[in-house]
Amino acid sequence: MSRLISVKQIESSSTTHGPEQKIQPRSFSGLYRRSRVSGGFVLFTLYFGVAWLNWDGRQAVLWDLSEKKFHIFSATFWPEDLVLLSGILLICAFGLFFLTVLAGRVWCGYACPQSVWTWVFLWAERLTEGDRSRRIKLDAAPLSLNKIARRGSKHGLWLLISLLTAITFVGYFTPIRDLVGDLFAMEASGWAVFWLLFFTAATYLNAGWLREKVCFHMCPYGRFQSSMVDADSLVISYDAARGEPRGSRKKDAASSSSGLGDCIDCQLCVQVCPTGIDIRDGLQMECIGCAACIDACDSIMDKMGYDRGLVRYASERELKGEKSNLLRPRLLGYFAFLVLMIGLFAWGVASRPLVTLDVERDRGMYRFTSEGNIENSYLLKLTNKDSSPRYLVISVRGFKGSVITGPGGVVVEAGEKVEVPFSVAFPPSLLDAGANDIVFEVSMLNRKGELIAETSTFLGPPEY
């Protein structure tokens, strides 16, 4: 009987492990592992390296909470630009939806931070305690100096990786060079120390102790993937029609001669799985799509002289002997929306004004000057989001005969915000009773056509 389980019936649990059993993945090699290691190396290099890059005398990527500015190389974003953040989140969401419909949980297996850091922690575990069989023996062994030394070395490496991760993460919110210098001088602020300890503990706990439990119980992605994959999605699958019935045999023995399938029931696919499942039971919620079982199975097929691909990326339709349909409406819909969101985000970043003006009127009503004019006071907030200084010329449009008290121009440095007190007075004969509209204009010296206008209210007496 076929053991193929439809992707629409993803199991909620695996029969190959219980909640109390510790999973000890076996080390292996292969194409997908090399791809994952290369991708993880790139991600690690970006994460730990970008924080140390400088740009125009400041940290290249820095979310400066104290100044309420977010620097990304030459661009500076302000709180009013956070609407662009929603665009980034939508792009990430629909990118994830597109990948899931196309190839299941490929994000989890290759680029998810939880998976990447777990692989690094597993590397530290293998370095200090040995491969799977040695770790299992060490777990069962009584307490000894050797066990204490190996466990101590492992946890020491885990804590070191966690601390470096925390320092780098906090370094994206406070200048990392100052942070490291303060730590060595023991002058770091209480909040900096708190967040360092918090993220060190979180990394140590998640990647060292919880590991696959984060994917099982804390991450919602594994639970809603069953509603996104379909019969044409490329997911990691066991070809039951080719592999069954299972059974051991001698090397180079033809499976057809013994009435067995190609699966020799070596259990290697289970031993290398970081979540401890048996892919031969069908697609399961616990599968993170890392393709470790594919590498393991292909190595056995090579040794047995069989064709590779007993476990492979395949669609349910392909395993039934039918032709997969790659260009299907839902996949195209996600792709079209993803391209649209990327285009809108790029347009929003390119068209956002690099100089902004915000006018706040003084809370007072109005006052009469010694010349008999009516005066209102304002606070002009000028922000320069550009990477170079701007000389801004300030003027008022709407009434002739106005008397202006305030600078006619101001220099705003790159990435700075300047507040300019400003007063405007008019003869009563030029005003309507009550509220009047007044327009403040800011032009940029040597930049023709770039004009910013902001309308405010000018209050006068209700009656003359």
The 10s digit of each residue's pLDDT in 136-155 is 999 999 999 999 999 999 99
User: How far is the first Cα of the chain from the last one, in angstroms, to the nearest whole number?
Assistant: 97
Which pLDDT does position 183 carry in this prediction? 95
pLDDT at 133 over 50: yes
Residues with Cβ < 8 Å from 362, sequence gap 6 or more? Answer: 376, 377, 378, 379
Categorize the per-residue pLDDT at 257 as very low, low, confident or very high, splitting at 50, 70 and 90: low
* DSSP 8-state assignment for residue 281: G
Residues with Cβ < 8 Å from 164, sequence gap 6 or more? Answer: 48
Categorize the per-residue pLDDT at 429 as very low, low, confident or very high, splitting at 50, 70 and 90: confident
Q: Is 438 helix (H, G, I), strand (E, B) or coil?
A: strand
Q: Is 402 helix (H, G, I), strand (E, B) or coil?
A: coil
Backbone angles phi and psi of 450, in degrees to 5:
-95, 105
The tokens for 262 are 């190609």
Categorize the per-residue pLDDT at 8 as very low, low, confident or very high, splitting at 50, 70 and 90: very low
Which pLDDT does position 19 carry in this prediction? 47
pLDDT at 75 over 90: no
pTM, full prediction: 0.83
> Which has the minimum average pLDDT: 30-34, 256-260, 286-290?
256-260
Mean pLDDT of 86-95: 90
pLDDT at 29 over 70: yes
Residues with Cβ < 8 Å from 87, sequence gap 6 or more? Answer: 341, 344, 345, 348
Mean pLDDT of 220-226: 77
- CA distances 433 to 359, 360, 363, 464, Å, are 22, 21, 19, 7
CA dihedral 114, 116, 118, 119 (to 10 degrees): 160
- CA distances 128 to 114, 144, 290, 356, Å, are 21, 15, 24, 57
Please list the residues that pair with 357 across neighbouring strands: 382
pLDDT at 331 over 70: yes
Check if the beta carbon of residue 62 is closer than 8 Å to that of residue 172: yes
pLDDT at 464 over 70: no
Distance, in Å, from the CA atom of 50 to the CA atom of 163, rounded to the nearest integer, reads 17
Domains and CATH numbers, the chain: 355-459 (2.60.40.10)
Which pLDDT does position 11 carry in this prediction? 41
Mean pLDDT of 149-173: 97
Mean pLDDT of 443-461: 80
Distance, in Å, from the CA atom of 183 to the CA atom of 172, rounded to the nearest integer, reads 16
How confident is the model over 281-326, as pLDDT tens digits? 988 888 999 999 999 999 999 999 999 999 999 999 999 989 988 8
> Which has the minimum average pLDDT: 250-259, 301-310, 344-353?
250-259
- Computed over every residue of the chain, the mean pLDDT equals 88
Mean pLDDT of 171-191: 94
Please list the residues that pair with 235 across neighbouring strands: 314
Mean pLDDT of 75-82: 82
The tokens for 156 are 């020491």
Which pLDDT does position 349 carry in this prediction? 87
Which pLDDT does position 280 carry in this prediction? 95
pLDDT at 253 over 80: no
Check if the beta carbon of residue 422 is closer than 8 Å to that of residue 406: yes
Q: CB count, 10 Å around CB of 182?
A: 16
Which pLDDT does position 17 carry in this prediction? 45
> Which has the minimum average pLDDT: 4-13, 69-78, 236-245, 313-322?
4-13
Distance, in Å, from the CA atom of 202 to the CA atom of 189, rounded to the nearest integer, reads 20
Which pLDDT does position 7 carry in this prediction? 42
Helix (H) / strand (E) element for 313: namely strand 311-314
CA dihedral 327, 330, 331, 337 (to 10 degrees): 120
Check if the beta carbon of residue 271 is closer than 8 Å to that of residue 132: yes
Residues with Cβ < 8 Å from 13, sequence gap 6 or more? Answer: 284, 285, 286
| Pick from 373, 446, 372, 386: nearest CA to 415 | 386
Q: Where are the alpha helices (DSSP H) in 73-112?
A: 83-103, 106-110
| Pick from 434, 415, 316: nearest CA to 6 | 316
* Sign of the CA dihedral with 301 first, then 302, 306, and 307 last: positive
Which pLDDT does position 20 carry in this prediction? 54
pLDDT at 222 over 60: yes
Categorize the per-residue pLDDT at 1 as very low, low, confident or very high, splitting at 50, 70 and 90: very low
Using only C-alpha atoms, the chain has a radius of gyration, in whole angstroms, of: 32
Residue 226 or 334, more confident: 334
Amino acid occupying residue 122: L
Which pLDDT does position 352 carry in this prediction? 84
Helix (H) / strand (E) element for 226: namely none
The listed range with the strongest mean pLDDT (154-158, 422-426, 430-434) is: 154-158
